[in-house]
């Protein structure tokens, strides 16, 4: 029969953790732990200090009221009558213009056109640092020569020295943030950049350009609808249908009028973008703390592995 004093000889007895031994092992390796931790802290400080400041500028927008709802209600009111007469009315979706505007801002087509028209490529793809004294950007000489406005980056085909609009869109998507508050419907547009001046300017331009793009698109669609409706009036003799067409033309005319007189067509600016005075990142203190902690954990792990893995083999 197994005696109680024989429990120490059981196989699992050696697997128990001896806290005193663990403390002595760590104490014996204190110099290694301290050295590795200090080295990791130094690296974290160097990395944190080498990272450039990034500034974020944001604008708070509210969906502007639209007259398209009247057109939609007329479509529903007269849709049955038109279908009985074999006429297909120009469709108008129920998608919110604000939601459509959010998706357009993030789209490749709009961003590419925005970058090209505003000539943002050097500031987006080649900016290296920003001078707080002069307010000017410095460019990476290996990528872009500012004096001659020439791209000199060395890339493999099919890429060219000048970044393509596809590359520019990918880079722009990383610094652009568009979010919508589902409860209030307010939209926040933010840009991150090395220069706070550039960040503020780009947000302002984005709001202007999305309003302009959607306003022009709605004007073109309304003009086409009016042309189509006039053709239908000329080809039908039914008084009810003609009345319907005239009301639809009136609705589309109102859409054109409002689009031309209202600059903030889709998004109304509640809080415009400003030039930020404080950086948004990097969090240098956090980087230093995390780097030091990770270095200390790595040092402890190394000491324990040396003792329990290699130390036992040497003693055996």
* DSSP track, the chain: ---GGGGGGSGGGGGS--HHHHHHHHHHTHHHHHHHHHHHHHHHHHHHHHSPPBEEEEEEEEEPP-THHHHHHHHHHHHHHHHHTT-PPPP-----HHHHHHHHHHSHHHHHHHHHHHT-HHHHHTEEEE-TTT--EEE-TTTEETTTTEE-----TTS-SSPPHHHHHHHHHHHEEEEE-TTT--EEEEEEES-HHHHHHHHHHHHHHHHHHHHHHHHHHHHHHHHHHHHHHHH---HHHHHHHHHHHHHHHHHHHHHHH-SSSSEEEEE-----SS--B--HHHHHHHHHHHHHHHHHHHHHHIIIIIIHHHH-
Give the global pTM. Answer: 0.74
Q: Per residue in 188-235, pLDDT tens?
A: 999 999 999 999 999 999 999 999 998 888 888 888 888 888 887 888
Q: How sure is the predictor about 17, in pLDDT bands with cuts at 50, 70 and 90? A: low
Mean per-residue pLDDT, 9-16: 48
Q: Is the pLDDT of residue 93 over 70?
A: no
Q: Per residue in 230-272, pLDDT tens?
A: 887 888 777 777 777 777 888 788 878 887 888 888 899 999 9
pLDDT computed for residue 26 by the predictor: 80
Mean per-residue pLDDT, 102-120: 93
Q: Per residue in 143-153, pLDDT tens?
A: 999 888 899 88
**pLDDT over 90, % of the chain:** 32
């Amino acid at each position: 029969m197994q005696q109680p004093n024989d429990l120490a000889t059981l196989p699992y007895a050696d697997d128990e953790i001896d806290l005193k031994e663990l403390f002595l092992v760590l104490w014996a390796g204190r110099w290694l732990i301290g050295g590795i931790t200090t080295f990791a802290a130094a690296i974290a400080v160097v990395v944190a200090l080498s990272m450039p400041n990034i500034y974020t500028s944001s604008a708070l927008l509210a969906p502007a009221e639209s007259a398209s709802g009247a057109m939609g209600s007329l479509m529903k009111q007269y849709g049955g009558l038109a279908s009985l007469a074999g006429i297909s009315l120009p469709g108008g979706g129920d998608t919110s213009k604000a939601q459509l505007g959010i998706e357009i801002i993030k789209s490749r087509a709009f961003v590419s056109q925005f970058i090209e028209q505003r000539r943002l490529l050097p500031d987006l793809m080649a900016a290296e640092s920003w001078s707080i004294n002069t307010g000017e950007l410095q460019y990476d000489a290996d990528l872009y020569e500012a004096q001659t406005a020439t791209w000199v980056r060395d890339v493999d085909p099919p890429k060219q020295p000048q970044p393509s609009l596809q590359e520019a869109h990918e880079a722009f998507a990383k610094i652009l943030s568009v979010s919508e508050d589902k409860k209030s419907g307010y939209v926040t547009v933010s840009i991150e950049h090395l220069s706070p001046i550039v960040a503020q300017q780009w947000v302002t331009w984005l709001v202007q350009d999305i309003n302009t793009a959607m306003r022009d698109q709605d004007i073109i669609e309304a003009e086409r609808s009016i042309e189509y409706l006039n053709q239908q009036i000329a080809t039908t003799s039914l008084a009810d249908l003609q009345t319907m067409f005239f009301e639809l033309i009136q609705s589309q005319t109102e859409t054109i009028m409002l689009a031309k007189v209202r600059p903030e067509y889709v998004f109304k600016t509640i809080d415009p973008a400003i030039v930020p005075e404080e950086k948004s990142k990097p969090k240098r203190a956090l980087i230093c703390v995390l780097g030091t902690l990770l270095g200390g954990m790595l040092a402890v792990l190394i000491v324990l592995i040396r003792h329990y893995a290699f130390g036992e083999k040497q003693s055996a």
